[in-house]
């Protein structure tokens, strides 16, 4: 029997790579004992990344979920690990320094053993502090090489990066092949190089199945000395997900490796439970296309974890484009046509944006930029005509050093807009902020929680946590789920009539929510009487409309001062934001003038062309 290779079930990422949501805590706790009984896993990925943000989005406390979900594995001697975005922590945007330090202590006390830290720019300045923070919190520090394929991302590039991280104190290295486009032979060479210099370092390989290279890659890295392989299982393996444990185990056994046996009775039990969760509600957010392999993904290199939400978001983007085309008597576009245009545009903009690794959040930034370009050009506007602040921050160096060079036309555009490039340490731009959030907790009489975990959650996910506490998140989710169920019933020959009213329950209170047929009206906020309509003070002036569908916010950061009725604004001044595709898109005034009316409430869902505010020139 040859060298041993162990398996890690990436249960969190299985869901996130398939669709938008993850199971509820009651579902997680139910499936955990059956996963343990399978007997083939030494590790399970339980949380991190978008997992806890998703809990908040459908109205569940993520701290409770993590504590209860990790407990059965710890009791069984199975290590748990989370996905950590380094400078961005568990979210899409950079995190204050003290919140980042707190992160690891809270997660260790909640039951997570290993912090898998990555930076989408592979900037080690963002990763190395997490090594110390993880150790201070009592966690194992596993540092990632974000794998992609470009003229810059060579075997030598990744080998040197691994050496630097190990010398900085990393306990383990993960080859994070998030799009599954790493070339098998090159991946094997990277592992061989690391093991040659550091034979005792633990190496784990993470890949997505989508483009079809992953099984060959698994074999190559294991031959080179890889210790752990991340796997998925039916019905969420393959597609934009991960290689299946059954196939990998059989392949490695045949190759002479020592691998754990699979309790197939328990496997089928877990498989059935996953299907039950999909039938319950999760399947309504899993596009069928994501369950298929697609070698077209080799070109744009978009990661599996992002494809889960991409196909869902694309439905809205397609609707927006076709709304414009219908108005202008132009031929409508199909989803396939939009997808190919998007893939082509990603391949075009990625080098121009400096070759950031296509992993969260930068995969979203590149995809969002490409999609925004496609949408603008389909509507007769110019490429690069709308760039979100988060995307600018990445290109300006505020998130770290780009692996490549920014295209001259984008450098020129930044200068035209008075934007400054940043060459310092990225964390310096995001100083301590816990005291601000602590005061907010006190002002609202909110409990700090065990080990101050509720304070941490607010500081990590401010907008989502506030929506969770108010009940708005749950109300929005329940309304959206009811709409999807109604649409599914109609598609399957059942009765479908819109608009219709559903009743949702939030914190023991029942509210009526109208599910329309895309008229753009927002549901009343929790706490308002059933069927209440929010009326803003009537104003006069030019109508500033939303450039895209999303959620309306006056500010994007806690502590920022919002504009208000009566304020004088300048043409080009940012007056609000639309959160769409996980980025905040700044909306600027089109006139010099005075704000006479703000027509939306913070967090309200808006459609393209909805009136946001009125400005009297």
Query: How confident is residue 81, by pLDDT bands cut at 50, 70 and 90?
Result: very high
DSSP state of 258: B
**Residue carrying structure tokens 């991409």:** 310
As a whole number, mean pLDDT of residues 571-598 equals: 88
Which residues lie across from 81 on neighbouring strands? 45, 114
pLDDT in tens, 323-332: 888 888 888 9
DSSP state of 232: B
Instruction: Report pLDDT for 318.
Output: 80
Instruction: Report pLDDT for 533.
Output: 34
Between residues 322 and 175, the one the model is more confident about: 175
pLDDT at position 602 over 90: no
pLDDT at position 583 over 80: no
CA distances from 411 to 351, 353, 389, 419 (A): 14, 10, 15, 9
Calculate the average pLDDT of the chain.
Answer: 87
Number of helices followed by number of strands (H, E) in the chain: 20, 18
Query: How confident is residue 532, by pLDDT bands cut at 50, 70 and 90?
Result: very low
**Residue carrying structure tokens 């998925």:** 232
As a whole number, mean pLDDT of residues 524-528 equals: 41
CA distance 94 to 362: 12
Q: Mean pLDDT lowest for which of 80-94, 446-460, 498-512?
A: 498-512
Instruction: Report pLDDT for 225.
Output: 98
Closest CA to 142 of 204, 226, 192, 74: 204
Cβ neighbours around 173 below 10 Å, total: 28
CA distance 261 to 126: 39
What is the distance, to the nearest Å, from the Cα of residue 68 to the centroid of all Cα atoms in its chain?
23
pLDDT in tens, 389-419: 889 999 999 999 999 999 999 999 999 989 9
Query: How confident is residue 547, by pLDDT bands cut at 50, 70 and 90?
Result: confident
Q: Mean pLDDT lowest for which of 59-63, 91-95, 160-164?
A: 91-95
Which residues lie across from 574 on neighbouring strands? 588
CA distance 352 to 319: 28
CA distance 175 to 359: 13
Query: How confident is residue 306, by pLDDT bands cut at 50, 70 and 90?
Result: low
Query: How confident is residue 519, by pLDDT bands cut at 50, 70 and 90?
Result: very low
Instruction: Report pLDDT for 472.
Output: 87
As a whole number, mean pLDDT of residues 225-235 equals: 97
Burial 452-480 (b: 16+ CB within 10 A, else e): bbbbbbbbbbbbbbbbbbbbbbbbbbbbb
Instruction: Report pLDDT for 304.
Output: 53
Instruction: Report pLDDT for 508.
Output: 55
CA distance 350 to 270: 39
User: 602 CB contacts (<8 Å, ≥6 apart)?
Assistant: 552, 553, 554
CA distance 320 to 94: 30
Strands 583-588 and 593-598: unpaired
Closest CA to 456 of 63, 1, 50: 63
User: 95 CB contacts (<8 Å, ≥6 apart)?
Assistant: 87, 88, 89, 103, 430, 460
pLDDT at position 118 over 90: yes
Query: How confident is residue 528, by pLDDT bands cut at 50, 70 and 90?
Result: very low
Q: Mean pLDDT lowest for which of 61-70, 97-106, 231-240, 290-299?
A: 290-299
Query: How confident is residue 530, by pLDDT bands cut at 50, 70 and 90?
Result: very low
Take residue 121 and report the two structure tokens written for it.
């720019």
Rg of the chain in Å (alpha carbons): 24
DSSP 259-325: -----HHHHHHHHHHHHHHHHHTGGGG--GGGGS--GGGGTT---HHHHHHHHHHHHHHHHHHHHHH
Instruction: Report pLDDT for 300.
Output: 61
Take residue 233 and report the two structure tokens written for it.
């299982």
pLDDT at position 495 over 90: no
pLDDT at position 536 over 80: no
Q: Mean pLDDT lowest for which of 249-263, 269-283, 350-364?
A: 350-364
As a whole number, mean pLDDT of residues 461-465 equals: 92
Contact 49, 15 (CB under 8 A): no
pLDDT at position 165 over 70: yes
Instruction: Report pLDDT for 302.
Output: 61
As a whole number, mean pLDDT of residues 299-307 equals: 57
pLDDT in tens, 16-30: 888 888 999 999 999
What is the enclosing helix (H) or strand (E) of 543?
strand 542-545
């Amino acid at each position: 029997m040859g060298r041993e290779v162990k398996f890690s079930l990436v249960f969190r990422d299985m869901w996130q790579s398939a669709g938008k949501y993850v199971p509820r805590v009651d579902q997680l706790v139910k499936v955990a004992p059956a996963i343990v009984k399978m007997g083939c896993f030494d590790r399970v990925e339980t949380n991190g990344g978008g997992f806890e943000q998703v809990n908040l989005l459908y109205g569940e406390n993520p701290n409770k979920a993590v504590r209860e979900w990790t407990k059965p594995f710890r009791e069984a001697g199975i290590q748990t690990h989370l996905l950590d975005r380094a400078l961005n922590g568990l979210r899409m945007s950079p995190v204050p320094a003290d919140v980042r330090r707190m992160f690891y202590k809270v997660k260790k006390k909640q039951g997570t053993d290993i912090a898998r830290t990555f930076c989408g720019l592979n900037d080690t300045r963002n990763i190395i502090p997490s090594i110390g923070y993880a150790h201070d919190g009592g966690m194992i520090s596993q540092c990632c090489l974000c794998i992609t394929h470009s003229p810059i991302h060579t075997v030598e590039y990744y080998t040197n990066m691994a050496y630097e991280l190990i010398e900085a104190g990393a306990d383990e290295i993960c080859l994070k092949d998030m799009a599954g486009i790493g070339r098998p032979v090159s991946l094997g060479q990277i592992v061989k190089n690391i093991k040659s210099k550091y034979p005792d370092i633990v190496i784990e390989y993470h890949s997505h199945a989508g483009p079809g290279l992953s099984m060959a890659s698994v074999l190559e890295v294991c031959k080179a000395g890889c210790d752990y392989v991340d796997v998925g299982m039916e019905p969420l393996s393959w597609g934009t997900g991960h290689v299946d444990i059954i196939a990998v185990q059989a392949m490695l056994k045949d190759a002479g490796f020592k691998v754990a046996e699979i309790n197939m009775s328990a496997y089928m039990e877990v498989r059935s439970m996953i299907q039950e969760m999909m039938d319950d509600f999760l399947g309504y957010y899993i596009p069928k296309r994501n369950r298929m392999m697609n070698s077209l993904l080799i070109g744009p290199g978009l990661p599996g974890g992002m494809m889960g939400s991409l196909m869902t978001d694309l439905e809205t983007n397609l609707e927006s484009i076709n709304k414009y085309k219908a108005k202008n008597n132009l031929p409508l576009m199909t989803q396939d046509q939009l997808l190919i245009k998007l893939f082509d545009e990603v391949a075009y903009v990625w080098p121009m944006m400096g070759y950031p690794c296509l992993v969260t959040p930068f995969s979203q930034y590149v995809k969002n930029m490409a999609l925004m370009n496609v949408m603008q050009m389909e509507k007769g506007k110019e490429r690069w005509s709308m760039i979100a602040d988060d995307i600018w921050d990445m290109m300006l160096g505020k998130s770290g050093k780009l692996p490549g060079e920014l295209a001259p036309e984008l450098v020129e555009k930044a200068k035209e807009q008075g934007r400054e490039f940043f060459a310092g340490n990225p964390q310096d731009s995001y100083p301590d902020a816990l005291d601000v959030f602590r005061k907010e907790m006190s002002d609202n009489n909110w409990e700090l929680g065990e080990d101050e975990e509720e304070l941490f959650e607010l500081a990590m996910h401010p907008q989502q946590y506030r929506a969770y506490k108010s009940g708005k998140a749950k109300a929005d989710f329940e309304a959206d789920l009811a709409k999807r169920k109604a649409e599914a019933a109609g598609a399957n020959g059942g009765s479908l009539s819109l608009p219709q009213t559903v009743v949702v329950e939030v914190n023991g209170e029942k509210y009526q929510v109208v599910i329309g047929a895309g008229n753009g009206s927002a549901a009343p906020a929790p706490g308002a009487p059933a069927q209440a309509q929010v009326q803003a003070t009537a104003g006069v002036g030019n109508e500033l409309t939303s450039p895209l569908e999303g959620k309306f916010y006056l500010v994007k950061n806690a502590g920022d001062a919002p504009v208000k009725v009566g304020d004088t604004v300048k043409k080009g001044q940012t007056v609000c934001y639309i959160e769409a595709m996980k980025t905040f898109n700044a909306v600027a005034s089109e006139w010099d003038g005075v704000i006479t009316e703000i027509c939306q409430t913070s967090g309200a869902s808006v459609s393209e062309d909805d009136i946001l505010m009125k400005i009297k020139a």
